[in-house]
Copies of this chain bind each other. A is one copy, B any other.
Amino acid sequence: MINLKKIADSIGIEFIGSDIEISGLNNLKDAQEGELAFIDHAKYTKDLENTKASAVIVSSSMKEKVPTHVIALVDEEVNLKLAYASELFAPLAFEVDGKEPVIGEGSIIAPTAFISTGATIGKNTTIMPGAVIGNNAKVGNNCIVYPNVTIYRDCVIGDRCIIHASTVIGSDGFGFAHTKLGEHVKIFQNGNVVLESDVEIGSNTSIDRAVFKTTLVKKGVKIDNLVQIGHNCVIGEHSIIVSQAGIAGTTTLGRNVVLGGQSATSGHLDIAPFSTFAARAGVTKSIKEPHKTYAGFPLMEHKPWMKLQAKIAKLAK
């Protein structure tokens, strides 16, 4: 909890009014009472009108749209101020003090593995050499965490998960605000990653923690090697992500989506359940109809893409 007045002072916004306590940052839509939100684009005006946030960072042009029960912090560089505020809520990267980790019955913690303070390991789980479990992270029962895996602080791994070597769960999402001089100011990624049960992840894969709340990988998802999953993504149940695919931030996949090798999606998309994308597919728009197969970049349904490939081959002659 940080006083709003103190936050305003820290980030350089004038604030006169009755002070309140702020529990954290969030976007307008998900924010709860006691949270500080922000609006960086007019397209979120509806969210602003309906927000439960107690305060909001807003530009002067949007100021009149702020509901009367919400405190407005007015500034022309909303994202930059958000970035500064995010640092105030960032926990330490590595805490030495804290509660001894709890290790469940039948679990093996290999020598050279490291379990940070506050972490919990379930029953019959194997944490192999060189694996690192961060502060307050939770690993479920009957998991295998292979060597040199890193699970960042506050992340949660369900039961019967398998995570292969050198994979990283919970590194910071790639989020920055930009100054007028072209410098980039870190937006601290204060969320986490949650893997539900029966998830398997290959080696050298990166799943970024959320800026707020959670990057979520639902039950039964299988992810291959060298895959990138951006912050705040939601991967639907039993989806399959093949090697070297990349999913940009805040994209949501429905259940049983298949993403082929080296395919990619833009950020902020919604992908219908049972969608299949061939290798190298490049998905730049949301997909509404389920059960269809796509390929190519620009993306198209698989059949016209096959025809197009033939035409291109002909064009080359």
Contacts and interface: CB of A to CB of B under 8 A. Distances in A.
A205 B204 contact: yes
A186 interface: yes
27 contacts: A93-B128, A94-B126, A94-B128, A94-B144, A112-B112, A112-B132, A147-B150, A150-B165, A164-B171, A165-B171, A171-B202, A174-B224, A174-B225, A174-B242, A202-B206, A202-B208, A203-B206, A203-B208, A206-B226, A226-B228, A226-B246, A228-B261, A230-B243, A244-B244, A261-B264, A280-B297, A298-B312
Contact of A311 (B242, B246, B315): B315
A168 B96 CA distance: 25
Taking each of A132, A146, A147, which has the highest tally of chain B beta carbons within 10 Å of its own beta carbon?
A147
A31 to B, nearest CB: 27
B130 A132 contact: yes
A238 interface: yes
A204 B148 CA distance: 12
Contacts of A182: 238, 255-256
A206 B206 contact: no
Interface string A290-311: 0000001110100011011101
A23 B301 CA distance: 46
Interface string A98-136: 000000000010111010100000000010111010100
Contact of A148 (B132, B230, B256, B261): B132
Given A162-B186, A203-B206, A204-B204, 18 more contacts: A93-B128, A94-B128, A94-B144, A96-B108, A129-B132, A130-B132, A132-B165, A165-B171, A168-B204, A174-B202, A174-B224, A225-B228, A226-B228, A246-B261, A296-B316, A298-B313, A307-B316, A308-B316
Taking residues whose C-beta sits less than 8 angstroms from the other chain, chain A's interface range is: 35 or more
A143 B42 CA distance: 37
A97 B182 CA distance: 44
Contacts of A298: 309, 312-313
Contacts of A148: 130, 132, 148, 150, 166
A286 interface: no
Contact of A204 (B112, B146, B166, B256): B166
A110 to B, nearest CB: 6
A202 B172 contact: yes
A296 B225 CA distance: 24
Contacts of A243: 174, 206, 228, 230, 246, 248
Given A94-B110, A150-B130, A205-B204, A174 B304 contact: no
A22 to B, nearest CB: 25
Contacts of A266: 279
A130 to B, nearest CB: 5
